[in-house]
Amino acid sequence: MANQIGQPVVSSVTGGVSGGGGATGQIRTATTHPPEALRHNISDDELTRLSEGNDSAVGPAFWTFFGGVIGSAPAAWRAYSNGFSGNQALTVDSQGLLDIVIFAVVSAVAAALFFVNRSKKKQQKPLVSEIRSRPKSY
């Protein structure tokens, strides 16, 4: 049995699923398999360049938000330090509070993007090693 693409279909029927009114129904499950696994020839130099390239938007977005952290830090620090003058309770005006909130949000987003980018790079290294360890075919 094959589907419309010419892929073999493996099917199984499971029982024991009860429908409404005490009737027992069966669920048909179909699994398709591709007709062939496609492999691509790539030189070691091309693989190195591919592994070093960062084609996602995570890296540039991180640097954008990191610039926001650097840019908002002086205003947030000024508002934070002015709020703690003497032994008084924290007193921050609305502009100072906005500066602190902007700094906190931009810092959190930059930190999240940093860890996402780092985890992507960690996943990429084993893939490159796996591709390099494949047997040579001529």
Residue 124 has pLDDT above 80, yes or no: no
Does 85 have pLDDT greater than 70? no
What is the per-residue pLDDT for 31? 80
Overall pTM > 0.85: no
* The predicted structure's pLDDT at residue 98: 93
- The first and second tokens of residue 59, run together, are 């890296």
pLDDT tens digits, residue range 17-41?
Answer: 444 555 566 788 888 877 777 777 7
Q: What is the reported pLDDT for 112?
A: 94
Encode pLDDT of 53-79 as tens digits.
656 778 888 999 999 999 999 999 998
b (16+ CB within 10 A) / e for 87-117: eeeeeeeeebeebbebbeebbebbeebeeeb
Helices (H), the chain: 44-52, 58-83, 94-132
In sequence order, which residues have a C-beta less than 8 Å from that of residue 80 and are 6 or more positions away? 92, 96, 100
